Amino acid sequence: MEPFEHGSRILVAHDMTHPTPPRIDGVPSRTVAAAVAACVCVFGLQAAPAASQTHTFGSLDDPSEYNALAWWDTEAGVTAYGGFSLIGPQWRGATRLAAHVKRSQASLRIDAAARTGIFGTFEEDFDEWRDAIRIVDFARWTPRNSATYIRVGPLDRSRLGVGHLVNFFSTQNAWDTRSAGVEASFGERSVQAQVIVEDLTRSRLFAGRLAFRPFFAQSSRLSSLWLAGSALTDRSATGRAGDPLVAWSVDARMTAFEAGSFSFEPFASVAQIQTMGRGVLVGADLINNNFIDIARLQLRLALHFNGAAFQPGYFGSLYTVRSRRANLIADPDATRDGIVLPGDDNEFLAGVPIEFVFRDNSVWTELRIHFFQRFELWYQFLRHHGTQDLSEYHLRLFLRLERLELSIGQDRAGLDGFFSLFGEAGDENALVFDFTYNIRGALWARTEARYTFVPSGTGPGGREQFVVQRRFEPLLGLRFDF
């Protein structure tokens, strides 16, 4: 076996299919007791009734997708682009056709592309039948005055419940093989259900959550209490025993007090990844869902107490390229922080496999400012305190003006701390930049850049391997609105 150094310890890379695990140090009983005591104290506070949960669920109110059209109104448009495409080291000519239709309760957006040049046609655009599905950016249905929400298309910002297990889950970070998934939520005053499906065409990750308000009909201080349970399975990944990966969590939250339109909502969660480890999360949100009728504000501060072999938000933005089912191959010239694959090539993996994660704590800070349909700043930093580089950063920035639209998304992992954000990007980094500008009349310019990943064969244990892929496309087009 090949030894590798991580932090102050030397570990050994065994067969990655069923590695011999280190002992799982669970969360100490005193930590669990402290968390439970905190919950009891929190839930004993005087509370005002709450009509529904307010935490974010996926793209429910994504300003780049959501619309507030009247029931009789329709918005539709088609844009034909032409320009250049740089994928890896190769330039090609590119044509793209984008179209959208919006109604008050439903909307659809598609984006199809073809690229060719002296290096030949870029076959990944249409080399399998799933590419016909991938042209759909999203199709969504959100009935007015209802808690129902259904969205089909590639996922980018999915969060289940408080985000203890599923946080910023994305199926877009391997762009050429992105999958069309489902986000759905249903509910009423006392019950809510949420469902996430990674891929409609294959048996992969499925997650569900059921929440209820046991005292919703009362006027007591506990009338705003929500209790919830979540379960997740990934049929394409295995745990230590070789069975499909399974995880679960239970959580509770309530409105402790309100000041004007602001509400203070403490929450607590316990989660476990079967055959791996478990963790406890305690925190609070300060929320205003309708700030002077123009914006939604959210501020979060939370603490994670993680056992060995557990990472909060493990099913996150990079899960499809770096997990129990996929390996992310690191840049050989970058700082090594991971393990060496067995084999002649001695390829180095980015990140720390979950089975080698030590027990630690982390601090979760989050800020979201959303001016309805116009602007969004969503920032999250998970500061890990331990000997391993496990801090994470997520950013979503969106701006829409009369003549321009800007969208930026970035997900980074494997960080040492906050100031490492200003250092090298590293291997565990996904970035999307999309800028559209109306030059004049029907003439539009669009620039899109992606720093994501592409499949690169199969590794030990049958795991799919990924490497970094860089894309850049400057385009000009004509838009016709209907």
Instruction: Say if 433 falls within a structural domain.
Output: yes
Q: How far is CA 405 from the centre of its chain?
A: 22
Q: Which amino acid is at 252?
A: A
Number of structural domains found in the chain: 1
| pLDDT tens digit sequence for 393-450 | 999 999 999 999 999 999 999 888 777 777 776 789 999 999 999 999 999 999 999 9
Alpha-carbon distance values, 333 to 329, 347, 427, 457 (Å): 12, 12, 11, 21
| pLDDT tens digit sequence for 257-270 | 988 889 999 999 99
**Band of pLDDT at residue 10, cut at 50, 70 and 90:** very low
Q: Tell me which of 270 and 25 has the higher pLDDT.
A: 270
Tokens of 395: 């950013």
Q: Beta strand pairing status for 404-415 and 74-87?
A: unpaired
Which among 481, 479, 475 is positioned nearest to 84, based on CA atoms? 475
Instruction: Say if 15 falls within a structural domain.
Output: no
Instruction: Say if 1 falls within a structural domain.
Output: no
Give the C-alpha separation, 390 to 383, whole Å. Answer: 8
Beta bridge partners of 340: 348
Instruction: Say if 389 falls within a structural domain.
Output: yes
| pLDDT tens digit sequence for 164-190 | 999 999 999 999 999 999 999 998 889
Instruction: Say if 465 falls within a structural domain.
Output: yes
Q: Give the pLDDT mean for 36-59.
A: 52
Instruction: Say if 200 falls within a structural domain.
Output: yes
Domain that includes residue 220, residue range: 22-481
Q: Which of 11-20, 233-242, 256-265, 377-386 has the lowest mean pLDDT?
A: 11-20
Instruction: Say if 319 falls within a structural domain.
Output: yes
Instruction: Say if 422 falls within a structural domain.
Output: yes
